[in-house]
Amino acid sequence: MRRVLQAFIMVITISAQAFSVSHAFEFKGFADTSLTKSTKDADSDRYRNGSFAFGAVDLYFAESLDEVELLSELIVTTTGSINAERLYLGYVFSDQLKLRVGRFHTPLGFWNTSYHHGKQLQPTILRPEALRFEFEGGIFPAHSVGAWVTGRSRTSAGLLEYGIQVANGPKIVLSGSNKVLNPNNTSDNNIGKAVSFNAAICPVMIEDLKVGVSGHFSRVKDDTATPPLMADVNQEIYVAAFTYSPGNVNLAGEYFNIGNRAESDKNYNSSAYFGLITYNLTEKWVPYILYDKMLINESDPYFQTLNTKDVTKTTLGVRYNISYMSSLKGEVRAVKRDNKDWNEFALQWAIAF
Amino acid sequence: MKDAKFIFVAGSTALILSVILCADVFARELAVIANREYPMNSISVSVVKDIYLGEKTIDGNIKIRPMEQRDEAIRKMFIERVMGSTIDGYKAYWIKKFFQEGIMPPAAKGTSSEMIQAIMKTAGALGYAWIDDVRNEAGIKVLMKMEVGN
């Protein structure tokens, strides 16, 4: 059945591509391949031998029919399965008011909605630690299924972006032997809905600056029935983010505060942040540095269930733009996770098509 | 010797001035044009930028349908002089914009005359062409003119 579904999705995708040639219909994609080597004291043997890997192939298309819009993004994963990454229908009342219903990238901070699977767009090879995807042991709901009212308005103070979202809250499920977050694609395992908000401004007074705040409130419950750790928390996530590009320098940073209230009414607080500096040496050469950190409260049942540990990571890299559609990136990373230190070396070739 | 020097300096100055003046005389005008029914009769550069960057998609109750040309010369002029970007920078911007928000990039038309015909037939359509190509076209209106050099 699964193979039939995959074949069906591929046929639809190929048909869509053929259709797009003769119609005002856009079909695009991303792909990447990488080589990563870690030093022998890394906490997993994933990269210890030096590993070539192809990343997910991202296929997305959109259609706009007057006020109605559709966006579909399919991911062909490294295991060969096809996942619906994003799929939404939208109704555009105006630029100031758009309603979208379906599955989205959760608008927490800027990175999650700006880059996601588009490695060619992403300034670095990897996402910051705090923004790992759910299935990779991520700590935030990177995806949401629900309704999202969003808009953009140019005011005398600057360009405002805003949105509010009501969605199924995430749950915790088993993935192999690990417990991971799951966005609850087709149902909700508790009555309370997750609510997110985002607001950002590009002020007129400071060109090329964008600052924003966002939040996510939900109940997250361990759905695995696998003792001993079974988190059931009311979660509040607050994010402050900025990007600033004076001249050839691009600065970006995000700060996350994660508050979890357990059934015992006990509150736990953890935080994470990253800072990124890229410098456009020329149009082709862009060196960068990324520093990211997670400070986890070890008593928090949510993080105990997800087995999340403190991480500090410094990444030095350089990007070479082959063209506007393709780039090579090389990185050296110094990683400290749960009191273990190691280094990683990585190369990535990314393309948009 | 002095006379020769004077003649050389005067001649050089005259040559430079004539080049500058001729460049001014022959600077081409680019027009931003729209369908006759378009709700506005004029437009500013900042609004044109917003439209061609996908930031403004609706004007009044009409969905704006921006179009661009495949002709490299005029397209380059428009992107560099009006949008303040490079061709590659503009293309990269649209890859990002389309991925992030699903907003469709401007539809590409082959030539000025193809674009003008498409604009005449399409409500909310907006595009650009050399002013000489649109002087006697009844089905469109000129919202903005801009000297863009040669």
Amino acid, res. A38: S
In this predicted model, what pLDDT tens digit does every residue of A36-62 receive, in sequence order?
Answer: 999 977 767 777 778 898 888 999 999
Specify the pLDDT at position A20.
45
Q: Which of A15, A178, A185, A187 is nearest to A83 (CA)?
A: A185
Cβ-nearest to A352 among B89, B95, B107: B95
In this predicted model, what pLDDT tens digit does every residue of A84-118 receive, in sequence order?
Answer: 899 999 999 999 999 999 999 999 999 999 998 88
Instruction: Show Cβ contacts of residue A106 under 8 Å, excluding neighbours closer than 6 positions.
Output: A112, A113, A140, A141, A142, A143, A144, A165, A167, A196, A216
* Cα–Cα dist A125/A256, whole Å: 21
Please report the residues numbered 136 through 195 in chain A whose beta carbons come closer than 8 angstroms to any beta carbon of chain B.
152, 154, 159
Contact A121 B96 (CB under 8 A): yes
In this predicted model, what pLDDT tens digit does every residue of A190-215 receive, in sequence order?
Answer: 788 999 999 999 999 999 999 999 99
Residues forming a β-bridge with A349: A33, A328
Specify the pLDDT at position A107.
94
Q: Residue range A68-75: average pLDDT?
A: 93
Q: Terminus-to-terminus CA distance in chain A, angstroms?
A: 30
Cβ-nearest to B104 among A30, A62, A159: A62
Chain A environment of B102 (Cβ under 8 Å):
62, 64, 69-71, 90
The beta strands (E) that lie in chain B are given as 29-35, 58-59, 62-63, 65-69, 107-109, 125-130, 140-147
Specify the pLDDT at position B23.
45
Q: Which of B29, B30, B38, B28 is nearest to B140 (CA)?
A: B38
Query: Contact at 8 Å (CB) between A339 and A17?
Result: no
Cβ-nearest to A152 among B55, B63, B86: B55
In this predicted model, what pLDDT tens digit does every residue of B83-128 receive, in sequence order?
Answer: 999 999 999 999 999 999 999 999 998 888 899 999 999 999 999 9
Chain A environment of B100 (Cβ under 8 Å):
113-114
Specify the pLDDT at position A110.
96
What percent of chain A clears pLDDT 90, i.e. is strictly above it? 72
Which residue on chain A is closest to B94 by alpha carbon?
Answer: A324
Specify the pLDDT at position B19.
45
Query: Contact at 8 Å (CB) between A215 and A239?
Result: yes
Residue B68 reports pLDDT greater than 90 = yes
Query: Contact at 8 Å (CB) between A41 and A47?
Result: no
The Cα diameter of chain A in Å comes to 60
Q: How far is CA A196 from the centre of its chain?
A: 15
Specify the pLDDT at position B79.
96
Specify the pLDDT at position B148.
84
Q: Beta-carbon neighbour count of residue B99 at 10 Å?
A: 27
Q: Please state, rounded to an integer, the average pLDDT across all residues of chain A.
A: 90
Contact B58 A120 (CB under 8 A): no
> CA separation (Å) from B148 to B18, B50, B68?
19, 19, 16
Name the interface residues of B facing A (CB cutoff 8 Å).
Answer: 50, 55-58, 63, 86, 88-89, 91-92, 95-96, 98-100, 102-105, 107
Q: Which residue has the tokens 């706009």?
A: A64
Q: Please state, rounded to an integer, the average pLDDT across all residues of chain B.
A: 85
In this predicted model, what pLDDT tens digit does every residue of A112-135 receive, in sequence order?
Answer: 999 988 899 999 999 999 999 998
Residue A78 reports pLDDT greater than 90 = no
Specify the pLDDT at position B20.
46
Contact A26 B104 (CB under 8 A): yes
Query: With bands split at pLDDT 50, 70 and 90, how would you rate the model's confidence at B22?
Result: very low
Q: How far is CA B2 from the centre of its chain?
A: 49
Is residue A322 within 8 angstroms of chain B, CB to CB?
A: no
Chain A environment of B79 (Cβ under 8 Å):
none
Contact B100 A113 (CB under 8 A): yes
In this predicted model, what pLDDT tens digit does every residue of B116-135 receive, in sequence order?
Answer: 999 999 999 999 999 988 87
Specify the pLDDT at position A10.
56
Specify the pLDDT at position B14.
54
Phi-psi region of B57 (alpha: psi -120 to 50; beta: other; left: phi over 0): alpha
What percent of chain B clears pLDDT 70, i.e. is strictly above it? 82
Is residue A218 within 8 angstroms of chain B, CB to CB?
A: no
Residue B40 reports pLDDT greater than 50 = yes
SS (H, E, C) B6-26: HHHHHHHHHHHHHHHHHHHHH
Query: With bands split at pLDDT 50, 70 and 90, how would you rate the model's confidence at A143?
Result: very high
Residue B139 reports pLDDT greater than 60 = yes
Q: Rounded to 5 degrees, what angle do the CA atoms A301, A306, A309 make?
A: 90
Provide DSSP, A284-320.
SEEEEEEEEEEE--TT-HHHHHHT---EEEEEEEEEE
